[in-house]
Chains A and B, each alone.
Chain A
Amino acid sequence: MTDPEPERTPVLALEGVSKSFGAVRALRDVSLRLYAGEAHALAGENGAGKSTLIKALAGVHRPDSGTVLLDGAPVVFHGPADARDAGVAVIYQEPTLFPDLSIAENIFVGRQPRRSFGRVDHKSVRQATADLFRRLGVDLDPDQPARGLSIADQQLVEIAKALSFDARVLIMDEPTAALTGSEVARLFGVVRALRESGAAVLFISHRLEEVFQLCQRVTTLRDGAWIASEPVEGLTEDDLVRRMVGRDLDELYPKQDAKVGEVALSVRRLTREGVFTDVSFDVRRGEIVGLAGLVGAGRSEVARAVFGVDRWDAGEVEVDGRPLKSGAPSLAMSAGLALVPEDRREQGLVMEMSIERNINLTGFGATSRAGLMNRGAERSRAVDWALRLQVKYARLADVVGTLSGGNQQKVVLAKWLATDPRVLIVDEPTRGIDVGTKAEVHRLLSQLAADGLAVLMISSDLPEILGMADRVLVMHEGRLAADIPRAEATEESVMAAATGRGRNAA
């Protein structure tokens, strides 16, 4: 799918870039051209390689092959500083601030205005920050330390930082995820002004309507491969989704109807001060309940508290009518709760250990006799679950870190399913895994629910929530903002609740 691209030289471009991390091929032969005065959208599902592409442009990752072109000439960015000096400013999805430094210092670190003898001009730093905030219409104190800022405020600081560069290329990775409507409008105003003054903009958002509002051109990635680059005009949202997903949605979200049984997990007025407040919901047998919300809304924190990783300050949690204690994960496990955490590399797996060992981390009670581990029992337990979930591996003794992301995720699932849970909490079950494995994970979750398991699924992937959940709970800034049945759950209704524009709590 080619399009009549302008004759002009792109300000910044990637040609045939590939990048692998171990067994995972994050980018395969991807090209992208950013032109002055144009806003370019980057579309693709979670795990399609968007963040890797940005990091290649920003000098964080060096491509394995292919070139980065600046004004048509090949360049090698040896680090973020090189990209910055070339006029590339990046707003990352996860704010990367210095908690101990003031907001003003965060914005100007390494580039502070100076007075005589190279001394930092603290007054100008503060003044320039105040000016930036005025331009963005933000009420933040430049002297306040970044520690304790809300995610939205952190995001605003990141935006101010990027604007302070007077960049030729502005790259924004989901900058609007945590912002309110008026903040988004103001940001777009500033971005348009930048674009009209000749800057090139690369924009990523899972809110497709924003892509259509802001951008002139869109490049789509799927599973790390380039799919299309084309003008936005004449494209519909459905076209874009089809390019991103590359198959029918039914196939990707094979949701079976299941008989909904009695309440398996009951959460009542759960509160952890300053993190989430007054959260109440039930999950029934056979039901997949989606928990949606923006980054930082408190979804994972609720899951962690329910499972007992973090303590809660008030409220109750019951599994099959049995109350759980605050801050006691082993009690939660024996009550039949399982948590597949958000970050499988840090929280879900011990990366240096074998597949077998990882699966058996939850099974010391089941596979040991008189306190001694029984290798045979361990082996058969691991083989059994690895086969059931169709984990692709060479030997069970292989280090789990050598598997692809999707297979790693299956090992985490195997580890928890082997405990025969009554309630399964999955946090971002398909983040960073390829579309094929993603469909398999979805089929598995659907099958488990049909067999009577209660599933609570946290996801930032809206199509996944809409495609898989029987009911969608939406969190907004630490509170449950909505409880939407499958039939009424749409992108609009969920996003409205997630951004605080929606209906009142159910």
Chain B
Amino acid sequence: MTMTAKPASAAPPEAASTSGFLDRVLKVRELAILVVLVLMLLATQLDNHAFLSEQGIKDLLLNATILVLVAVGQATVVITRNVDLSVGSTMGITAFAAGEFLRGGGNPLVGVLIAIALGIGFGVVNGLLVSLGQVPALVVTLGTLYIIRGLDSIWFGSKQITAADLPSGFADFGHNGFGAVPYLALLTAVVLIVAAYYLRSYRSGRDLYALGSSPEAARLAGVPVRKRILTAYIVCGALAGLAGALYLARFGNVDSGTGNGYELTVVSAVVVGGVAFTGGSGSVYGAALGALLLTSINSVLPSIGVSSVWVQAIDGILLLLAIAVDRVVALRVAAVLRKRAAQTRSAIHHA
């Protein structure tokens, strides 16, 4: 990242080494997941040579895309020190809405747009409730989780959409790709890169980090706090909506239970990916890597002969491990900074 590159002349050596140290820590956090992921995949490949075949890679990517999309949206919200628990419900209802539209012979592109628009609608509701209500996001979005799930049940009842109801081109889009790279993964990669670039290079993106880091300071600095929180929820809702449409394209099967409990997987992915739940730090790349890691475990375990009943337990262990590592690293960093500050002081003193 160019942001972390330093001009040669700017700083005294002491300060420079401190920031270099921090930069390393932050980069290492994302690099660590990547290393774990690569090691895991390589080890599995040694055990089972068919694992990383063209189809194998394609499956890994396909499995990851939807979770990555929702995780990117969730990360945007978590960076502002909030959370959106309604993403699973949103994904379910938007998948169903798009399915209903397509079953009636609608244009696939319009179907996707409908899903996104519906997601944006729920994002607006969440964003307004959180930013205006001064109520913890956890509680608000737990409420909307159930409301949206309820709407889903009322609207669709016991109806079900199957692949046979959908235009064939739509399903093809969900399965095919260029060689080992599915179209869905490409689309997700584009979204990921755009989101990362927005968060890094636009004032409003930087504001999200600022208000997650210190809401009070953000208010005093004139950051439009409510507007920014609303934006984060809209992004999150839109991506959950897009994910709903892609879910439909990939699986073809949707019922009123689709996406149940998905929000917890998403939050795990985001946290494993190093986006701090206390806001202000982490990146969507990290969240995407976290999502990739979690979904890859799902594929890895069966292929090395471990029963899939272990998957959830291992996900949980991974989550605790990630949080423990973050905590230890944070304490270490704080200790180092304190010591450095003390050294600088005494250096000034004795000068």
Contacts and interface: CB of A to CB of B under 8 A. Distances in A.
Interface stretch (A14-22, A146-154, A203-211, A411-419): A146-154
A71 interface: no
B7 A126 contact: yes
Nearest to A99: B213
Contact of A119 (B6, B201, B334): B201
B255 interface: no
B302 to A, nearest CB: 39
Interface string A101-137: 1100100011110100011101000110010000000
A139 B221 contact: no
Q: Most chain-B Cβ atoms within 10 A of its Cβ — which of A126, A127, A145?
A: A145
B305 interface: no
B222 A81 contact: yes
A119 B202 contact: yes
Interface in B45-93: none
Given A120-B202, A143-B4, A148 B341 contact: yes
Q: Most chain-A Cβ atoms within 10 A of its Cβ — which of B4, B206, B209, B334?
A: B206
A273 B339 contact: yes
Contact of A80 (B11, B203, B221): B221
B217 A478 contact: no
A101 B280 contact: yes
Size band of the B side of the interface?
Answer: 35 or more
B311 to A, nearest CB: 33
Given A98-B214, A98-B218, A109 B201 contact: no
B15 A144 contact: yes
For the residues of B in contact with A, the DSSP-based class is helix
Contacts of B22: 144-145
Contact of B3 (A122, A127, A147): A122
Interface in B1-26: 2-4, 6-7, 10-12, 15-16, 18-19, 22-23
Contact of A141 (B15, B213, B334): B15
B210 A101 contact: yes
B338 interface: yes
A500 B6 CA distance: 33
Contacts of B202: 118-120
A96 B206 contact: no
B217 A274 contact: no
A294 B343 CA distance: 19
Given A141-B11, A141-B19, A273-B335, A81 B224 contact: yes
Contacts of B207: 109-110
A105 B220 CA distance: 15
B18 A97 contact: no
Nearest to A119: B201
B10 A143 contact: yes
Contacts of B196: none
Contacts of B2: 122
B142 interface: no
Contact of B338 (A58, A80, A122, A275): A275
A148 B19 contact: no
Size band of the A side of the interface?
Answer: 35 or more
A112 B201 CA distance: 10
Nearest to B342: A274
A85 B222 CA distance: 9
Contacts of A80: 219-222
Nearest to B344: A150
A477 interface: yes
A150 B345 contact: yes
A274 to B, nearest CB: 3
A109 B221 contact: yes
A60 interface: yes
A92 interface: yes
B230 to A, nearest CB: 16
Contacts of B338: 148, 273-275
B280 A112 contact: no
Contact of A96 (B209, B220, B279, B342): B220
A274 B280 CA distance: 24
A98 B18 contact: no
Nearest to B17: A141
B214 A96 contact: yes
Nearest to A122: B3
A102 B213 CA distance: 11
Interface string A449-461: 0000000000000
Interface in A176-225: none
Contact of B203 (A90, A101, A120): A120
Contact of A130 (B7, B213, B217, B280): B7
Contacts of A150: 341, 344-345
A142 interface: yes
B37 interface: no
Interface in B140-181: none
Contacts of B216: 96
A114 B203 contact: yes
Contacts of B349: 477, 500
Given A98-B280, A126-B7, A144 B220 contact: no
B43 to A, nearest CB: 35
Given A110-B203, A120-B202, A98 B10 contact: no
A150 B340 CA distance: 10
A112 B206 contact: yes
Nearest to A60: B220
A112 B221 contact: no
A70 B17 CA distance: 46
A311 interface: no
B337 interface: yes
Contact of A148 (B10, B222, B337): B337
A101 B209 contact: yes
A52 to B, nearest CB: 15
A418 to B, nearest CB: 34
Contacts of A274: 335, 338-339, 341-342
B334 to A, nearest CB: 7
A145 B18 CA distance: 9
A251 interface: no
Interface string A272-290: 0111010000000000000
Nearest to A478: B342
B220 A120 contact: no
B15 A140 contact: yes
19 contacts: A60-B220, A79-B219, A81-B224, A97-B217, A98-B213, A98-B280, A100-B209, A110-B221, A118-B202, A119-B202, A141-B12, A142-B10, A143-B10, A145-B22, A274-B338, A275-B338, A477-B349, A478-B342, A478-B345
Interface of B: 2-4, 6-7, 10-12, 15-16, 18-19, 22-23, 200-203, 206-207, 209-210, 212-214, 216-224, 279-281, 333-335, 337-342, 344-345, 349
Given A80-B222, A120-B203, A141-B19, 11 more contacts: A58-B220, A81-B223, A96-B217, A98-B213, A98-B214, A105-B206, A109-B207, A109-B218, A110-B210, A110-B223, A275-B338
Question: Lowest 4 A-B CB distances belong to which pairs?
Answer: A274-B338, A148-B337, A81-B222, A141-B11
